Chains A and B, each alone.
Chain A
Amino acid sequence: MHPLRGGVAQTLIKIIGFLTSIKSLNMVLGSWHNHVGVMKSTCLNMLETPSLGSVTIRDGSVRYAADITIILQSMNQVEDLRVKGITCDFPTKSIQADATSAAPSSTFTLKRLQLCCDSRVNWEIYLWLSQSFTKITLEALSVSGSLASNHIRAIQCLLKMSGPDLQMLEFTVNPPGSDQCKPSSYLTYLIPYLRTYFA
């Protein structure tokens, strides 16, 4: 989302979105909690564009778990979602508390999910995503980036969430460009969870 101001941005984005029937959107999230209300509603309106099939959300931060729910539930038509470089500041306790009260979207159409992260990214956002939408039936799941223990938990949740429709699994063992000659720890940690998932 570009930091345009108020009604001008809202009008412009609505016109562009609905008149051109956009099919994909690349959204730089920024500090979601610092955006004014009209910018948030403009952004959500954009995500609700009926023709929109593919969304990339990148480079930003979210402070409240409920904000993620609102963003994701605006994407009723979206089949492809790519999440890259998003951090969240809220503690795990609040994720769990909110997850129990979150109403899953019955019309959520997400089919392909691509998660990219580096060591700066808090993967609890993905954990939150998996807990928020229990009815997602993913056809393709792609995970790349560095790994931490909570990342594994998130992947495990996503695998469970994806259900019987999953047709394609894609993992990147080492981050692109890595020249380190070390054991490929990524899948070494992941494989036990995959065993659980496949079993």
Chain B
Amino acid sequence: MCPNLKRIHIHGILQSPVTNPLALVIEPFLNSCRTANILSLAFITFHITLVFSTSQMDWDEWRVLDDIVSEASFPALVEFNIILHIRSGWIGCEEEKCRLEAVLPKLKFRNVLNIFLP
């Protein structure tokens, strides 16, 4: 149906103590792409806004992305971008970025993972 689809951008994703966009949005969306066998997909970008006060993020469940976005499912993948928008006044941004990278080792090994803190 879409043999030439190269880019997918999803904006406006909220991550908060009461919102889990991984299960609601990101995982099913990527699974849809994988099931559809979109071999041309080269650029995937998620813009995520982190909304929380003091509690740290639990990135462990994000490990599932490492398996979904495998080389077999997305052979043409060049960039897997996660853009983290963190509200002002919140400290520890770089630490969170490192923790997220740590749960996505396969993507990092393929040299396609980019995590941005704009």
Which of A178, A184, A199 interacts with B21 by CB under 8 Å? Answer: A184
Q: How many chain A residues touch the partner (CB < 8 A)?
A: 31
Query: Are A197 and B7 within 8 A (Cβ)?
Result: no
Bound complex: CA of A187 vs CA of B12, how far in Å?
11
Given the interface pairs A182-B19, A198-B38, the reply to whether A173 lies near B3 with Cβ below 8 Å is no
Which of A174, A179, A194 interacts with B29 by CB under 8 Å? Answer: A194
Bound complex: CA of A197 vs CA of B6, how far in Å?
15
Shortest Cβ distance from A172 into chain B, in angstroms? 4
Given the interface pairs A173-B12, A187-B29, A188-B25, the reply to whether A181 lies near B5 with Cβ below 8 Å is no
Q: Using a CB-CB cutoff of 8 Å, which residues 1-59 of chain B contact chain A? A: 1-14, 16-21, 24-25, 28-29, 32-33, 35-36, 38, 51
Q: How many chain B residues touch the partner (CB < 8 A)?
A: 30
Given the interface pairs A181-B51, A198-B1, the reply to whether A144 lies near B11 with Cβ below 8 Å is yes
Query: Are A167 and B6 within 8 A (Cβ)?
Result: yes
Note all chain A residues with C-beta closer than 8 A to B17.
181
Note all chain A residues with C-beta closer than 8 A to B8.
168-170
Note all chain B residues with C-beta closer than 8 A to A166.
2, 4-5
Note all chain B residues with C-beta closer than 8 A to A176.
12
Which of B6, B12, B18, B24 interacts with A188 by CB under 8 Å? Answer: B24
The interface residues of chain A, by DSSP majority, are classed as mixed
Query: Are A174 and B12 within 8 A (Cβ)?
Result: yes
Query: Are B7 and A168 within 8 A (Cβ)?
Result: yes
Query: Are B11 and A170 within 8 A (Cβ)?
Result: yes
What are the interface flags for A154-181 relative to B under an 8 Å C-beta threshold, 1 for contact and 0 otherwise? Answer: 0000000010111111111111101111
Shortest Cβ distance from A55 into chain B, in angstroms? 22
Given the interface pairs A166-B4, A181-B14, the reply to whether A194 lies near B32 with Cβ below 8 Å is yes
Bound complex: CA of A175 vs CA of B51, how far in Å?
15
Note all chain A residues with C-beta closer than 8 A to B5.
166-169
Note all chain A residues with C-beta closer than 8 A to B16.
181
- Interface: A191 (CB within 8 A): yes
Which of B2, B6, B14 interacts with A198 by CB under 8 Å? Answer: B2
Given the interface pairs A171-B11, A173-B13, A174-B12, the reply to whether A197 lies near B19 with Cβ below 8 Å is no
Query: Are A164 and B3 within 8 A (Cβ)?
Result: yes
Bound complex: CA of A175 vs CA of B24, how far in Å?
17
Note all chain B residues with C-beta closer than 8 A to A170.
7-11
Excluding A164-B4, A184-B25, A198-B33, 10 further A-B contacts by CB distance (< 8 Å) are A168-B6, A173-B13, A179-B51, A182-B19, A183-B24, A184-B14, A186-B12, A187-B10, A195-B36, A198-B35
Measured CB to CB, the residues of A under 8 A from B are 144, 162, 164-176, 178-184, 186-188, 191, 194-195, 197-199
What are 19 A-B residue pairs whose CB atoms fall within 8 Å in the complex? A167-B7, A168-B7, A169-B7, A171-B9, A173-B11, A173-B13, A173-B21, A174-B13, A176-B12, A178-B12, A183-B24, A184-B14, A184-B21, A187-B10, A187-B29, A188-B24, A191-B32, A199-B35, A199-B36
